[in-house]
């Protein structure tokens, strides 16, 4: 996973963070068979997907990061990778 500190409201993420994420996602996709691109705020909605594996049955999170606007920017810049969201 990639960690970004910030969110859509109180601590907006920067264009530099978007660019860094885009570069990192492209690098990882070139080296690994990545199929999905999710933000923390989307992870719990992914829980029933076969790719989701959690060993602690009580784990959950409600992290708002990196936010829908940030993910939209990143996804727009890596669209050619055809990574799935939710």
- Residue written as token pair 């959690």: 54
In whole angstroms, what is the distance from residue 21 CA to residue 54 CA? 24
Mind listing the pLDDT tens digit for each residue in 16-33?
Answer: 999 999 999 999 999 999
pLDDT of 11 over the 90 cut: no
Alpha helices in the chain (DSSP H): 15-31, 40-43, 68-77
SS3 36: strand
Q: Does the pLDDT value for residue 65 go beyond 80?
A: no
């Amino acid at each position: 996973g990639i960690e970004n500190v910030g969110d859509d409201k109180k601590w907006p993420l920067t264009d530099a963070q978007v660019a860094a994420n885009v570069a990192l996602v492209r690098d990882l996709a070139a080296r690994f068979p990545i199929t999905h691109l999710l933000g923390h705020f989307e992870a719990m909605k992914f829980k029933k997907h076969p790719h989701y594996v959690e060993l602690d049955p009580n784990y959950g999170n409600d992290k708002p990061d990196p936010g829908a606007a940030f993910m939209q920017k990143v996804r727009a810049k890596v669209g050619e990778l055809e990574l799935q969201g939710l």
